[in-house]
């Protein structure tokens, strides 16, 4: 079988019930009811209606998603999209006009460990005026 470098497409007239797994890039513009799993890049087209869990490396949503999304890297919600479900991602971009109903958790494991919460350190000193008069 010949290997191609282009994006795989499920067009708007495609309807799938079941789970989808892919490797590189996939554009879904149809209806999917079920789980989508990948280490690749997923694009949800304007005509898409997804009902189910999505776990992938990176996602861009133009259409409708009803279900939770877990992304290892980047999630982008475009201006006319609708997401009903919880979202976990390392980076999140939400354009003005996007509809997002759910909870979001944005954190990458490395940056959270590398940058702990800053501590507030207060030095207790006697209350002296800043410019004390010298005698």
C-alpha neighbours within 13 Å on the C-beta side of residue 79: 2
- Kindly state the tokens that stand for 67: 């279900």
pTM of the model as a whole: 0.75
* Whole-number average pLDDT of the chain: 84
Write out pLDDT tens, residues 24-70.
999 999 999 999 999 999 999 999 999 999 999 999 999 999 999 99
pLDDT at 120 over 70: no
Residue ranges per domain, the chain?
8-109
Asked whether 87 and 75 are in contact (CB, 8 A), the reply is yes
pLDDT at 71 over 90: yes
pLDDT at 132 over 60: no
């Amino acid at each position: 079988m010949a290997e191609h470098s282009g994006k795989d497409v499920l067009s708007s007239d495609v309807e799938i019930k079941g789970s989808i797994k892919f490797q590189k890039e996939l554009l879904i513009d149809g209806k999917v009811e079920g789980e989508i799993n990948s280490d690749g890049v997923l694009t949800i087209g304007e005509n898409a209606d997804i009902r189910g869990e999505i776990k992938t490396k990176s996602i861009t949503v133009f259409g409708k998603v009803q279900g939770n999304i877990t992304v290892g890297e980047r999630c982008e919600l475009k201006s006319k999209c609708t997401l009903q479900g919880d979202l976990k991602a390392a980076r999140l971009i939400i354009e003005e006009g996007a509809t997002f109903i759910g909870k979001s958790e944005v954190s990458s494991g490395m940056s959270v460990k590398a940058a702990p919460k800053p501590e507030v350190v207060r030095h207790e000193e006697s209350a002296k005026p800043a410019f004390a008069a010298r005698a």
